[in-house]
Amino acid sequence: MSLIFTLASRNLCHDRVRFIATVVGIVFSIVLVTVQAGLYLGFGRTVTTMIDHADADLWIMPVGTKSFEDSAQLDARKRFQALAINGVAEAAPVVIGYAEWRVPTGGSTPVFIVGSDLRAGGLPPWNLAEGSVDDLSIPNAIAVDRSYFDRLSVKGIGDQAEIRGQKVEVAAVTNGIRAFTTTPYVFTSLDRARAFTGMPTNKVTYLLARVTPGSDVESVRARIKANLSNVEVLTSEEFRTRSRAFWLFDTGAGAALLAGALLGIIVGTVIVAQTLYSSTKDHLNEFATLRAIGSSATYIHKVIISQALLSAVIGFGIAAAVGLIIVQATAGSALPIVMTPTLSLGLFALTVVMCVVSAIAAIVKVTRIDPAMVFTR
Amino acid sequence: MSDPVIEAVDVVRFLGDGAGQVQALKGVSLAVASGELTLLMGPSGSGKTTLLSVLGCMLTPNSGQVRVGGCSTAGAGAEDLAKLRREHIGFIFQSYHLFPTLTATDNVRLALDVRGESAAQAIAKSKEALAKVGLAHKISKFPRELSGGEQQRVAIARAIVGNASTILADEPTAALDSENGHAIMELLSEIAKDRSRGVLVVTHDPRIVSFADRVVRIEDGLIVGEERPKEQLEEIETAPLRALELARIA
């Protein structure tokens, strides 16, 4: 093995304080980027939770709908028009909207109502911890997530509250259905959802269409668009993309997260560049000696880049460990930080690129080195 | 005199810029022959180190020529000059310039590593070179664990390990006591006996003149004298015998 790696590692270990500063800089930077990128991914996933769990091949929605939470209204008769189209097996109506939850002891909190036709499917609750979807058929029945028990001042099945002046009773409890807006989801039947949100009985928010087995989704979509006026028809994937785009970019949330990540990269690059540069300055005499005994400039560049890469690997290793702890800690929160293999690989590549870019100043410094300086030192 | 391993021909070199510029070498010619130990002596500021830098392909002359192994370095770029250094020239510095984080073997090995030699071969050659300079028992020591004399021996091993045709030494005994300085010069003198190699030592230490095959004196950027002390000494030693012989013949 060449001495390049030996020289690089010894140079780093020779000044432990500076090496620690470099690693801390990398760890700080990469953890910051991990959190921002993880939040970005987590946010992107959370905003599409409802779309991900809906039993639909196609979403029929009012024109201009920006996201799932954008509660414009469709004429409910369109459901029957849709069912009459060749290839449509079901067009389950869904009603959504914000409402106010009142507890018997006083006080209120906003909730987000999700109402489905429990016979036609659509968007019933999932991850049920207690009770069943059928339990929502009984009068006043609703389902809430146990993570919101404190917020809703309930303790479980049988507890009562009031929405829009109407008594409700917890009939089913879900686990882990959390909203990124922190407004609790309340699942119920279609009619009760209309009552809670004040939506007229001849209106719905979405129609969730399922195509008949063997039908081509695109053909069915074309037919729906041709037959139903003032609607948009999107596949689940298209609706996910649109919802993500709205929440991440139209609201500025995604830009803020990306700006945070960019800041992390800049801070990390500056710290690593500064420490690598000062390390190179400290070892200038040795680099001049290398040059004097005939090393090529490339050989010296390799030493410096190896130092940067070593710092990157060690810094990334620690940052990844810290990142995993953060991921674990936020797993149950409303906005979990998500780590995927692709993101991990991307972060490692980013660390390497950041450290190599940081080495440029040091490389420029040694490139200008005068080997004759060895005679004067 | 055998063929020069390295030579400067009418070299002029300016140092500094603007009003502070000085002509450090004013048309110097010097050839280092193989199998010889040449001392370059002169007072401070006489141009010794500048000439060494020019001969060592670290500084390029403003005019004149440098030839390494008979080939001119004119027009060579920084990388070409570095290649010439690693293939033809071994350096020994006053302050050793060893790498504090590397063992003696690795310090010597560096001269081969920059040439791209395989690790196994380079380690074997480095150990051999350290044995030649009497440090076979200290191959794993770091510079801080070695005396000044031993560090300079490591530097000499680094200079000779690649079979450089020229060894250029800058004040190699200046940082050593007289005993260690003597030992280092004996070693360099031994190295210079190799007919394929020439040694040039820059010094202002008159105590080491006796080791030289040739002494070149430089002052104010000009070569002002040259002598061959060993030949002169030999002449002095053999003069009475020659007189006796002549008397017998007469």
Q: Are B121 and B128 in contact (CB under 8 A)?
A: no
pLDDT of residue B24: 94
Half-sphere exposure in the Cβ direction for B142 (13 Å, CA): 6
Residue B53 with chain A: CB contacts under 8 Å: 372, 375
238-297 in chain A: CB under 8 A from chain B = 285-286, 289-297
pLDDT of residue B120: 94
pLDDT of residue B139: 95
CB contact under 8 A, B82 and A375: no
CB contact under 8 A, A285 and B97: yes
Distance from CA of B170 to the nearest CA of A (A): 7
Q: Which range (A160-164, A259-263, B217-221, B241-245) has the least confidence?
A: B241-245
pLDDT tens, position by position, A140-191: 899 999 989 888 889 889 999 999 889 999 999 999 888 877 789 999 999 9
Q: Where are the beta strands (DSSP E) in chain A?
A: 58-62, 74-75, 88-102, 108-116, 128-130, 141-145, 160-163, 166-174, 185-189, 203-204, 206-211, 231-235
Q: Which amino acid is residue B126, in one-letter code?
A: S
pLDDT of residue B36: 92
Q: What count of other Cβ atoms lies within 10 Å of the Cβ of residue A233? A: 21
Q: What count of other Cβ atoms lies within 10 Å of the Cβ of residue A9? A: 15
- What tokens does A259 get? 């700006």
Each domain of chain B, given as residue ranges in start order, spans 4-249
**Preferred mutation among A6, A282, A289, A293 to probe B, highest tally of B CBs within 10 A:** A293
pLDDT of residue A370: 85
- What tokens does A162 get? 């009031």
Q: Please calculate the CA angle B189-B41-B149 and round it to the nearest 5 degrees.
A: 45
pLDDT of residue A377: 64
Distance from CA of A274 to the nearest CA of B (A): 22
Answer whether residue A355 shows pLDDT above 90: no
ipTM passes above 0.85: yes
| A13 at interface of B, judged by CB pairs closer than 8 A | yes
pTM: 0.76
CATH number of B4-249: 3.40.50.300
CA separation for the pair A293, A151 (Å, rounded):
73
